[in-house]
């Protein structure tokens, strides 16, 4: 939902685009202006999907929630097929008593199933004012509006005959800690339902069309120990063929369920596959599992691989700290992942407690001048003799020459800010005649390739299980994630609208600034 708040004055009209659930700086500047100038006449409207809301209408909240419910309803195979359900074959008991139809006895249910009408609340903080730190407001009064999404988990009724199902798993994009954990758990859960035919598609979407790449039969025995190592057991790649060609391959292989493990781009691809399958009226459930080290998928508390990345990043930061502290006028510079979102840099800086300056894409800064980063580094060397800097890869792109080049996934290839920062620091201290011993560390590929830590392994396990539960429940074009500590299903169309970004007005960023003690670099 994007809301447009208009503040009309005799001289100008200001617009701020707001979103109640995305990490953006909301409404603050307008509120501050209103406090300073009481004569401002405020008129408010909001655009939610195709719905135009007028906050002067007493029923605007009801209309908004109805629109939200429509947008976050989950696509289902019964949208195109008239299908009968059957009793689930998934049970929590090992010694379950099978029914004649292959289902599970009602006495064996143990209340382990999720009702189709269960919902989870996306946000739980009621902000009293738009000026509250991190406030996400829909209207100027910060009215409380509930945002409900579908709870994830196994259902009592399913839409597939497990013995007839052929399920495929594909891992797309770059490497990420936890990929093998998700693959493993999807296979385990499919077998628990009774699926006998599970295959892996090698090297991302490329495996659907590249000659010589054959699908890999998967079973519990095959994937039993793959979680003990990093990388992807199936291999990864970026980009792929046309959606129609991929669906041609899915149709030819007689695949009934496709599990896509990937980030924003891979989710967009999964949604395109889902739409093409619906267009052809194929009974195929396409379910995504969110994978991104950057933690930049909308609405999700976190994505798998993020906790491991932060933990591994601390090792690099600690090395930079030791190098800097041990040298005369030592400077440690660490570049971490984060194309458009600085979550890894922010959390690693917070957790290490050794960072003096943290630079992220969401917060602008200057390097030169009286209030620039470089002069602050000089101050730190004079004050304590050393300093440590952490930068996200997407930080400072406005200070560099832009490139129009893109990778195979269509992402703009970023200029290397870490190297640029390294060169600027060396030149600055050379020009002022102050010795500085700079050590630059880029642990990117070391972080991507490592095994998932305990926290991520648990998240991967639950996400993998829920992906299978979602497919058997008949959903398609959905992703499985954790929102507000609860596991939920979301329509892919809603999570791929824009990357999640650090809110510069959030308490977490304020905590990071408190930890580093850095000033505003403007």
447 is an annotated ligand-binding site residue:
yes
129 is an annotated ligand-binding site residue:
no
111 is an annotated ligand-binding site residue:
no
446 is an annotated ligand-binding site residue:
yes
448 is an annotated ligand-binding site residue:
yes
CA nearest 24: which of 105, 101, 137?
137
382 is an annotated ligand-binding site residue:
no
State how far the alpha carbon of 216 is from the alpha carbons of 185, 195, 305, in Å: 16, 15, 24
**Known catalytic residues?**
294
Q: How many CB atoms are closer than 10 A to CB 407?
A: 13
338 is an annotated ligand-binding site residue:
yes
409 is an annotated ligand-binding site residue:
no
337 is an annotated ligand-binding site residue:
yes
80 is an annotated ligand-binding site residue:
no
Backbone phi and psi for residue 262, each to the nearest 5 degrees, phi listed first: -175, 180
Q: Which residues contact 471 (CB under 8 A, 6 or more apart)?
A: 160, 167, 257, 259, 285, 287
280 is an annotated ligand-binding site residue:
no
Q: Measure the CA–CA gap between 203 and 194, rounded to whole angstroms.
A: 27
174 is an annotated ligand-binding site residue:
yes
User: By three-state DSSP, how is residue 261 classified?
Assistant: strand
CB of 343 closer than 8 Å to CB of 499: no
265 is an annotated ligand-binding site residue:
yes
393 is an annotated ligand-binding site residue:
yes
134 is an annotated ligand-binding site residue:
no
Which residue has tokens 């050379």?
430
- Structural element, H or E, at residue 6: strand 2-8
Q: Measure the CA–CA gap between 316 and 440, rounded to whole angstroms.
A: 10
Q: Measure the CA–CA gap between 428 and 406, rounded to whole angstroms.
A: 32
- DSSP per-residue string spanning 17-39: EE-SSSS---SHHHHHHHHH-TT
494 is an annotated ligand-binding site residue:
no
Which DSSP symbol is given to 162? G
CA nearest 74: which of 468, 497, 465, 471?
471
User: By three-state DSSP, how is residue 10 classified?
Assistant: coil
How, if at all, do strands 478-483 and 285-290 pair?
parallel
Question: How far is residue 325 CA from its own chain's centroid?
Answer: 35
Q: Which residues of 231-241 are buried (b: 16+ CB within 10 A; e: fewer)?
A: bbbbbbbbbbe
Q: From the annotation, which residues make up the binding site?
A: 174, 238-239, 263-266, 292-294, 337-339, 393, 445-448
Q: From the annotation, which residues make up the binding site for ATP?
A: 174, 238-239, 263-266
Q: From the annotation, which residues make up the binding site for substrate?
A: 292-294, 337-339, 393, 445-448
Q: From the annotation, which residues make up the binding site for Mg(2+)?
A: 264
């Amino acid at each position: 939902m994007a809301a447009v708040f208009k503040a009309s004055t005799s001289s100008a009209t200001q617009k701020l685009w707001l979103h109640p659930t995305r990490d953006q700086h909301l409404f603050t500047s307008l509120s501050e202006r209103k406090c300073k100038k009481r004569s401002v006449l405020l008129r408010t409207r909001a655009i939610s999907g195709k719905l135009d809301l007028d906050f002067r209408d007493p029923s605007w909240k009801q209309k908004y929630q109805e629109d939200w419910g429509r947008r976050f309803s989950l696509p289902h195979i019964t949208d195109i097929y008239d299908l009968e359900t059957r009793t689930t074959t998934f049970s929590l008991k090992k010694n379950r008593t099978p029914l004649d139809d292959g289902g599970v006895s009602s006495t064996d249910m143990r209340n382990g199933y999720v009702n189709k009408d269960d919902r989870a609340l996306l946000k739980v903080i009621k902000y009293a004012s738009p000026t509250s730190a991190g406030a996400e407001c829909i209207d100027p009064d910060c009215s409380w509006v509930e945002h409900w999404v579908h709870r994830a988990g196994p259902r009592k009724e399913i839409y597939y005959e497990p013995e007839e199902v052929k399920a495929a798993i594909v891992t797309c994009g770059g490497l990420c800690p936890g990929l093998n954990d998700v693959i493993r758990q999807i296979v385990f859960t499919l077998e628990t339902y009774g699926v006998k035919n599970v295959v892996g598609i090698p090297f991302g979407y490329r495996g659907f069309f590249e000659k010589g790449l054959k699908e890999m039969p998967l079973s519990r025995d095959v994937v039993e120990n793959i979680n003990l190592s990093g990388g992807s057991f199936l291999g990864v790649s970026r980009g792929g063929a046309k959606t129609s060609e991929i669906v041609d391959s899915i149709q030819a292989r007689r695949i009934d369920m496709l599990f896509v493990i990937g980030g924003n781009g891979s989710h967009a691809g999964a949604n395109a596959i889902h739409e093409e399958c619906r267009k052809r009226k194929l009974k195929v459930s396409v379910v995504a599992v969110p994978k991104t080290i950057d933690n930049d998928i909308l609405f999700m508390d976190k994505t798998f691989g993020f906790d491991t990345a932060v933990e591994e990043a601390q090792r690099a930061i600690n090395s930079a700290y030791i190098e800097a502290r041990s040298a005369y006028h030592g400077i440690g510079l660490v570049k971490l992942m984060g194309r458009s979102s600085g979550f890894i840099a922010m959390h690693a800086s917070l957790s290490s407690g050794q960072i003096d300056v943290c630079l992220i894409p969401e917060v602008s800064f200057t390097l030169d001048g009286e209030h620039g980063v470089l002069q602050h580094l000089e101050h730190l060397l004079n004050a304590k003799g050393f300093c440590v800097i952490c930068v996200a890869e997407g930080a400072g792109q406005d200070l560099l020459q832009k490139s129009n080049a893109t990778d195979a996934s269509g992402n703009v290839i970023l200029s290397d800010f870490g190297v640029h920062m390294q060169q600027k620091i060396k030149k600055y201290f050379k020009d002022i005649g102050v010795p500085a011993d700079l050590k630059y560390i880029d642990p990117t590929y070391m972080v991507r390739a490592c095994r998932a830590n305990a926290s991520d392994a648990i998240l991967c396990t639950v996400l993998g299980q829920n992906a299978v539960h979602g497919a058997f429940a008949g959903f398609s074009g959905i992703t499985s994630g954790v929102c507000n500590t609860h596991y939920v299903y979301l329509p892919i169309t809603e999570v791929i609208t824009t990357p999640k970004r650090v809110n510069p007005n959030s308490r977490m960023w304020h905590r990071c600034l408190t930890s580093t003690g850095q000033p505003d670099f403007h």
